Structure 1
Amino acid sequence: MVFAVVLIVVVALLAGVHRYLWRRFVGDTTAPGSVLRRTGTVAAVVLPLLSVGALVAGRAGAPFWLQRLLAWPGYLWLACLLYLTLALLVGEAVRPVLRRVLARRGPERPAESAAAPAHESAEVLVRPGAADAGTPEPAGPATAPGASEDAPRTPLAPEPGPSRRLFVARAVGGAAAVAGLGTVGYGTYGVLRGPRTKRITVPLARLPRSAHGFRIAVVSDIHLGPILGHAHTRRIVDTINATRPDLIAVVGDLVDGSVADLGPAAEPLADLEARHGSFFVTGNHEYFSGAAEWVDHVRELGLHPLENARVEIDGFDLAGVNDVAGESEGHGPDFDRALGDRDPARAVVLMAHQPVVIDDAVAHGVDLQLSGHTHGGQLWPGNLVAELANPTVAGLERYGDTQLYVSRGAGAWGPPVRVGAPSDITVVELASRQA
């Protein structure tokens, strides 16, 4: 019942937003029956349908080629919908100001579409001697004495032009379109360009001098799918390898799809290079995509899955827990299994996809937790929503004796767009306080 109510509210909200966009971009700026009006109306119906298709195609088991066909226009429209709406809302504040400015410049001219035909607005005169016939005749413009009847006549009124309201609607709509679509274009470029490298230093109290300067390349939320594929993976692998890390931590949400569809896209991961190897933990999207199959596949590619497990690295322990989404399949995080019997004198770094497990990490004496999941909000103001559901949205914060680092991720879910939350690969350099 609750789901049905939420669904109805969401559908009604989306319908209302699309109606608002149609009115401002189409209804207020185009003439009834015009080609532009018809084109805008068709787009207002087709684009949301493509978005729905992109969202449900994968879950419905549609062929991968169809998922790819729907993904680009469908997902991009969701981003356009957000920023076009925000731009128009700003325009609502500008609209009355612009009208007042124009009103001070002179009286409003009639719109072309509203201009009356000449024979209706012309002054009517009756020629002398014609009154009995009752035949009125429209009078033309006055002619100077001695002027020829065939000479050009000066019009008595200005030519009709766009009304002030129409001008304002087109000006505000045009500016909103440029701002909204420009924002989406720049955000798309940022994703397709690939993530940039960040570097941070994290001191650990129990890290021995021998491990001082140990570098972990942290990458999360790659999100291979119908949009981001083989080329995206190759860019990420090349970026990671260029940092020459000691260890690579892939912190979940690698894929949005099955091994059958996305196996080729993940192949460049086999080229990851690190002295102590590459490690992987599941994210919530792996459990939408066949987690067991992906765990086996990344192992074939040379990564080491940490399924509620721990390995000893020179100077510290590296542990990993399954994502909380695995609880629905009986494979959720098990901190006791991963950390219960370790040597408490050794520092421990934990790989856990979602930041929300930080309380368990603190309770088990973790020195540093590496997470992703939030995308840093991905699409501003999505960071405000992400802050409601996560203790940390991006960056490094301390919780008791445990430090939590959250990556913004290297890819994007849904729209291949990032605004205010650039993608990243982070090189975490561990520092010993004994050094």
Structure 2
Amino acid sequence: MAKIIGALVVVIYSGLTFYLGWNARRWLVAMDWYYNTIIFWTILYVVSFSIVIGRLHESLRIFSVIGNYWMFIFEYGLLLCLMAQFVMWVTPFKNVQLIGCIVVAVLVLLFIVGSYLAYSPVVRNLTVTMDKKDSELTSMRVVVASDFHLGVLSNKRHLQRFVNVSNEAKPDVVFLVGDLVDDDPKWFVEDGMAEVMKQLTSTYGVYGVLGNHEYYGKKIPKFVEEMDKAGVKILRDETIQVDKAFLITGQEDTTNKERQKLKALRVDNHLPWFVMNHTPNDLVTPAQEGVNFHMSGHTHKGQMWPNQHITARVFELDHGYKLKEQMHTLVSSGFGFWGPPIRIGSRSELWVVDITFR
């Protein structure tokens, strides 16, 4: 059954690629830039499957980069081609050359804007109030970020942006809520990103959890080891107490079908309880268990319009802040990006949360 579904996906994807190529060919012919049919279709399909080719061997890394950018061209190319054909269908305007130029110009504009929104993160500020309980603190500041997808395109320079902005906030604690690397931690190691991560400063430390992409990379022990060297403590279905200040629980990602239930990770004391769960799949349980501050990522807020309308339907909260009963809930759209380094309708971000204890 899985093979049949996979084959069906390939057929549909190939058909959509053909439709996109057919429209591109019409425009190139109109512009008198079209030369060879075999070369055109060969390049198109190699590019369209480059995301797969790039995974065959490390020496083919360039194809992974091409494939990431192709994802942007594929999604918005299809949308713009459909819009262009609709215009030609319902209006007397049939100039393929001019309409094609407009489509390409819009695609370039979206690329420029999307790149800026991906690589120019914004700081989002939030102020909340919690019951003091038994904490020795009267207030604290936390930095929350997720979905760095550190690798080829979300690189060392982008990580340095995060470190600089986080340190400027002078946080008491930093929470990194999953998908810190893009599947394989090898780029994190080879590019020396640990030296950048070590620069993070906070009163009580830096803590993180696994996301689905750490599981996709299948090198979790290596990842945890490298994060430890970089000064990030990865919590895997465990709860720790930090001084007499607060509790932190880090849940395994939902990809791990054997992860423990949150109830099993609960500690019976009266300190403020912070929980990191990469995927915001269930906000009901932590609210019932008495969590004070729940943090997630994963959604990217769709990353590229109109995908946010999908994430908004899938998750109770796909981005931003929500007070659910007594629980403060935060879902970040991520500091990095997955696939193309493009954001449209979302933006790379980190959260600075100021907490006052009553």
Q: TM-score, normalised by structure 2?
A: 0.90
Q: Distance in 2 between matches of 1:226 and 1:29?
A: 32
2:149 aligned with 1:223, yes or no? yes
Whose RCO is larger (CA < 8 A, sep 6+)?
2
Q: Which has the larger radius of gyration?
A: 1
Q: Distance in 1 between matches of 2:285 and 2:77?
A: 41
What is aligned with 1:399? 324
Q: Distance in 2 between matches of 1:384 and 1:232?
A: 27
Query: Secondary structure in 1 aligned to 2:283?
Result: helix
2:130 aligned with 1:204, yes or no? yes
What is aligned with 2:235? 306
Q: How does 1:17-416 map to 2 (within 5 A)?
A: 17-27=16-26, 30=29, 36-38=33-35, 42-55=39-52, 57-58=54-55, 60=56, 62-63=57-58, 65-67=59-61, 69-96=62-89, 98-99=91-92, 165=94, 168-193=95-120, 195-206=121-132, 211-265=137-191, 266-267=193-194, 268-289=196-217, 290-313=219-242, 314-327=244-257, 330=258, 332-339=259-266, 341-343=267-269, 345-416=270-341
CA contact (8 A) 1:372 1:409 kept: yes
Q: Which runs of 5 or more residues in structure 2 are unaligned? A: none
Q: Distance in 2 between matches of 1:365 and 1:199?
A: 24
- In the TM superposition, what is the alpha-carbon distance from 1:176 to its structure 2 partner? 1.2
Residue identity (%): 24
Q: Distance in 2 between matches of 1:253 and 1:22?
A: 34
CA contact (8 A) 1:83 1:181 kept: no
Cα–Cα, structure 1 residues 56 and 400, in superposed 2: closer, same or farther, change >3 Å? farther
- 2:207 maps to amino acid: F
Deviation digits for residues 126-146 of structure 1 (CA, Å, limit 9, x no counterpart): xxxxxxxxxxxxxxxxxxxxx
Query: Secondary structure in 2 aligned to 1:202?
Result: strand
Q: Which runs of 5 or more residues in structure 1 are unaligned? A: 101-164
Query: Secondary structure in 1 aligned to 2:294?
Result: strand
- In the TM superposition, what is the alpha-carbon distance from 1:396 to its structure 2 partner? 0.9
CA contact (8 A) 1:326 1:333 kept: no
Q: Distance in 2 between matches of 1:396 and 1:91?
A: 38
Deviation digits for residues 174-217 of structure 1 (CA, Å, limit 9, x no counterpart): 11111123212321232234x22111112223557863441110
Q: TM-score, normalised by structure 1?
A: 0.75
CA contact (8 A) 2:17 2:48 kept: no
RMSD: 2.4
- In the TM superposition, what is the alpha-carbon distance from 1:41 to its structure 2 partner? 6.5
What is aligned with 1:110? none
Q: Distance in 2 between matches of 1:47 and 1:245?
A: 48
What is aligned with 1:8? 7
CA contact (8 A) 1:88 1:172 kept: no
The count of aligned residue pairs is 354
Deviation digits for residues 376-430 of structure 1 (CA, Å, limit 9, x no counterpart): 1111111122223322110012333323200000111111111111010111111
- 1:14 maps to amino acid: Y
- 2:201 maps to amino acid: E
Query: Secondary structure in 2 aligned to 1:324?
Result: coil
Q: Distance in 1 between matches of 2:355 and 2:7?
A: 50
Q: Distance in 2 between matches of 1:386 and 1:41?
A: 39
Deviation digits for residues 296-326 of structure 1 (CA, Å, limit 9, x no counterpart): 2211211222222223345432221111212
Cα–Cα, structure 1 residues 42 and 185, in superposed 2: closer, same or farther, change >3 Å? farther
CA contact (8 A) 1:309 1:337 kept: no
